[in-house]
Chain A
């Protein structure tokens, strides 16, 4: 597609449930990043994939968070046993060059 696509756009889940967030990057983009943004806060880096290299997981806040990228394209961010503090907008971005990222519109996760 023309841009980075994220789904779902909104997700409401109960505390303790697992959720999966999906990101379809721009075709051919080798780098993929996940960020999250809590209400009124800045962007927090979570994880980064570059080609076939091992992902940079240094931003994941706990072991309840994991992500994978299949076939160098689609990525799934999984949050296990969700907590209320996980409520945020989860943003995915992809990149091919130094021109920087193209961000998706995000998934708004609400844990109740």
Chain B
């Protein structure tokens, strides 16, 4: 079973920041938080991951609370092409564990 809880769906206005929350209250010390997204009819795409520090890359920022029980993915200036299902996944840091995908959050970016 997925170890994360996400809202089923969210809307965001084009050009505004999209803030996608994720709860992972049972996360353990060696588990990372990963975010992927899946645009319709495509395979999932890696976005970002983190352990306990906030992370930023060219796609997004990841804010992890100090107790690590929740996180937020931030798309700073959402575009129509960011409409997708966003998956928040908790996984240990070794290769022996597969990613368990929950239902994710369906983000709709509106013009």
Q: Which of B34, B46, B102 has the most CB of A within 10 A?
A: B46
- Please give, as numbers and ranges, the residues of chain B lying within 8 Å of A95 by CB-CB distance: 95
Q: Does B103 contact A (CB under 8 A)?
A: yes
Q: Is the CB–CB distance between A43 and B96 below 8 Å?
A: no
Considering only CB atoms and an 8 Å cut-off, how many residues of chain B contact the other chain?
A: 19
Write the nearest CB–CB distance from B110 to chain A, whole angstroms: 22
Stretch at the interface among B13-21, B36-44, B66-74, B76-84: B36-44
Q: Do A43 and B44 have beta carbons less than 8 Å apart?
A: yes
Interface SS majority for chain B: loop
A-side contacts of B45, CB under 8 Å: 103
- Docked complex Cα distance between A95 and B99 (Å): 12
CA distance A35 to B102 in the complex (A): 13
The prevalent SS among residues of A at the interface is: strand
The residue in chain A whose Cβ has the minimal distance to the Cβ of B51 is: A98
Interface residues of A in 97-112 (CB under 8 A from B): 98-106
Q: Which of B32, B93, B102 contacts A42 (CB 8 A)?
A: B102
Shortest distance in angstroms between B80's beta carbon and chain A's nearest beta carbon?
Answer: 21
CB of B44 within 8 A of CB of A98, answer no
| Cα separation A4 to B104 with both chains bound (whole Å) | 23
A-B contact pairs, 8 of them (CB 8 A): A42-B103, A43-B99, A50-B95, A99-B46, A100-B46, A101-B44, A101-B46, A103-B44
* Residue ranges of A at the interface with B (Cβ–Cβ < 8 Å): 4, 30-31, 33, 35, 42-43, 45, 48, 50, 56, 59, 91, 93, 95, 98-106
